[in-house]
Structure 1
Amino acid sequence: MSDIYKAPDAELTSGDESGTYGSLEKGIAGDYTLSIGDICSEAWRRTKGNKGTIWLAVLLYLAAFLVVSFVAGLLTGYSAFNIEQQVNASLTSSLLYNLIVNIVAGPLMAGMIMIGVKIARDEETSPTEIFAYFDKLLPLVVASILMTILTMLGFVLLILPGIYLAVAYTLALPLIADRNLGPWQALETSRKAITKHWFGFFGFLIVCLLLYIAGAIPLMIGLIWVIPLVSIAVGIAYRNIFGGPESGQSA
C-alpha cells in the first residue's frame, strides 16, 4: 500500500562536494550529525561580534514588512492592523493583501536565514543581506505557496502529516537562495534530508522555541541574545547538513 502522505519524488541536484561540512548528497543520504548541544554552543560563541548584524537585519526586515503592509493596505483596502477594515473588507481584498505581503516576505525570510548560514560558514555578510535574494523571487514565492498548501493539507489529514511536513520543509528557502534549486527540488531536498533525522531536527526546533519563550519572559530583554543565537543555530544546522555552494570548505 502506498504512503498517501509522502510527497512525490523529484529529480534532485547532485554534486561532489567533499568538505568538512555537509553537502547535498550527504544531506539527502542522512550522512550528518545533529547534536543540539554542540549547535547551541557553537552558535553562542558565534554571537560575539555578530549580534549587531542580526539585529540590524531584524529591524530592516520589520521596516520593510511594515512598508509593504501599508502599501498593500492602500491597494486592497484591507489592513492587518485595522480591525474595522478587516471586518468590512471583501474576501478578494483579503486574499490580494496576503498575496502581496507574502510575495515580499519570501525573499526577506530567505535573506534572514542566509545571514545565519553565512555567519556559520565564516563568510562575509551584512544586514542588507535580507534584500539580496529578490532575484530569486519567483522560486521563493512558489516554494512558499507549495509549502503552505502541502502543510495545510497535512494538518487536515489527521494533523501528524502536517507536523511532519512543517518540520521537513524548514530548510527549503535557504536551499533556493544558496544552492539555486528549483521550488520542488528545494522542498524535496529539505524533506528527504531532514526525514533521515526528523526527530532530532524536531527536537532542535523545540529547543529554539523554548529559547524564544525564555528570552521573552523577562520583559523580552533576553531576546537581545536569543534572536542572534537562534538565527546562527539554524545556520549551523543548515551548514552541517548541506554545507556550502563551494567544495573543499573547512570548519
Structure 2
Amino acid sequence: MTENTPQNPYEPGAGGPTPAAGGPTPPPGDATPPPSGSQPPAYGGASEPPAYGGAGQPPAYGGPGEQYGTQPAGSFQVGEALGFGWRRFTGNWLFWVLFSLLMGVVSVIFNGPSASDVQEFNEAAMRGDITPGAAAGVSAGSSTLQIIGYLVTSVLSALGINAALREVGGEKATWGTLFKVNSYGMILLTALLLFAASFVGLLACLVGVLVVAIFSVFTYHNVVDRNLNAWAALTTSFRQVGQNFGSVFLLELAVLGITILGAIACLVGLLVASPLCTLAVAYAYRRIAGGPVAAA
C-alpha cells in the first residue's frame, strides 16, 4: 500500500511554482508571492488618517502653547488676511452663502419672535389685560429660549470656524465635513464660559465686555483646532491677541466695519460679509498659532 504523503505545492512536479535556483523558498500555503517590484497600496485607502481638523484627528499642536505645523507661527497683515478670505470665499461661495443663511434662520427662530412676544405681553400686563405673573412667566420662558438659541448659534459659529480652518489649510469646506469636530460638549462649555466672562465684564461698567470681545476672538479656534479645553482655549486666546494686539485689533475693526456695511445693504450683504470675516479671522489665527496655511 502506498502511503499518502501530502505534497509540498512548491516541490517540482507538484503543480505549484518552482523556486528559482538559489532564490528564497516561497512561503507555504496557497498564497502566491507578489511579483517582484510590486508596490504597496497607494496612500489614500481605507486606512488613511482623517483630513486635518477631522473628528478622529489627534490634537493638531499637542499641549497648550506648543506651536508646530507647516506654517511657522508669525504675524500677519490685515489686507493679507482679508484678501485670503475673499479668495477662499469666492472659490467656495455657494457653501458659505448657504451656511450664512442657516445662521440667520436659526438666529431669527430663537431671537426674533420671542423678543416681540415678551414686549406684547409686558404691554398687555401694564394695561391690565393679563396678570403680571403671567407676563413674568412668558418672560422667563422667552429668556430660556434665548439661552438655548445662544448655545445653538455658538455651536454653529464653532462649526463655521472649523470649516474656515479647513479652508485655510487648503481643504474645501463641505457639508460633509462641517459637523466633524472633536467635541460638541467642549464647544458648549466654551460657550457657557464666554457667556459668564461677558456677564462679569458687564458688571465692570461695560469695559470688561470690550476686553472679553477683543481678546477672546480665538477661543473657539483653539477648541476646534487644538483640542484645548474651554479655560485653556480662552487664556490662550488672550495671550495670542496680547502678543499680536496691533494687527488683531486692526483686523477686528475691519471686521466690524465690513459687518456694518453688510447689514446696511438690506442684510443681504451679510451673506458675503459674515463668511469673509470668518475666513479672514481664521487665517489670522493660523498665522499666529502656526499650522497649515494654503497658498490662496
Instruction: Give the TM bin, normalised by the shorter chain.
Output: 0.7 to 0.9
Q: Over alpha carbons, which structure has the higher Rg? A: 2
Deviation, 1:124, is: 3.3
Unaligned regions of 5+ residues in structure 2, if any? Answer: 1-62, 123-134
Q: Which amino acid aligns with 1:59?
A: L
Instruction: Say yes or no: does 1:96 pair with 2:147.
Output: no
SS at match of 2:91: coil
**Which residue is 1:15 aligned to?**
66
**Which residue is 1:29 aligned to?**
none
Aligned residues: 220
Cα displacement string for residues 159-198 of structure 1 (whole angstroms, at most 9, x for unaligned residues): 3333122111111112212221111011111111111122
CA gap of 1:239–1:162, structure 2 versus 1, over 3 A, is same
Q: Which amino acid aligns with 2:64?
A: T
Task: Tell me the TM-score normalised to structure 2 length.
Answer: 0.64
In 1, the alpha carbon distance for the partners of 2:95 and 2:120 equals 36
Whether the 8 Å contact between 1:20 and 1:250 is mirrored in structure 2 is no
In 1, the alpha carbon distance for the partners of 2:67 and 2:183 equals 24
In 2, the alpha carbon distance for the partners of 1:45 and 1:250 equals 11
Structure with greater proportional helix content: 1
SS at match of 1:211: helix
CA-based RMSD? 3.0
Cα displacement string for residues 50-88 of structure 1 (whole angstroms, at most 9, x for unaligned residues): 211111112233344556x39xx9xxxx92452456632
Unaligned regions of 5+ residues in structure 1, if any? Answer: 1-11, 23-31
Deviation, 1:43, is: 1.9
CA gap of 1:105–1:86, structure 2 versus 1, over 3 A, is farther
Alignment of 1:172-187 (within 5 A): 172-187=219-234
In 1, the alpha carbon distance for the partners of 2:286 and 2:192 equals 25
Worse-matched range after superposition: 107-116 or 84-93: 84-93
Q: Which amino acid aligns with 1:48?
A: T
In 1, the alpha carbon distance for the partners of 2:180 and 2:185 equals 14
SS at match of 2:183: helix
Instruction: Say yes or no: does 1:126 pair with 2:174.
Output: yes
Instruction: Say yes or no: does 1:208 pair with 2:259.
Output: no
Whether the 8 Å contact between 1:107 and 1:130 is mirrored in structure 2 is no
In 2, the alpha carbon distance for the partners of 1:108 and 1:192 equals 25
Whether the 8 Å contact between 1:60 and 1:127 is mirrored in structure 2 is no
Deviation, 1:39, is: 1.1
Deviation, 1:102, is: 2.6
In 2, the alpha carbon distance for the partners of 1:86 and 1:136 equals 39
Whether the 8 Å contact between 2:186 and 2:223 is mirrored in structure 1 is yes
Percentage of pairs with the same residue: 24
Cα displacement string for residues 7-49 of structure 1 (whole angstroms, at most 9, x for unaligned residues): xxxxx62435142243xxxxxxxxx213111111222222222
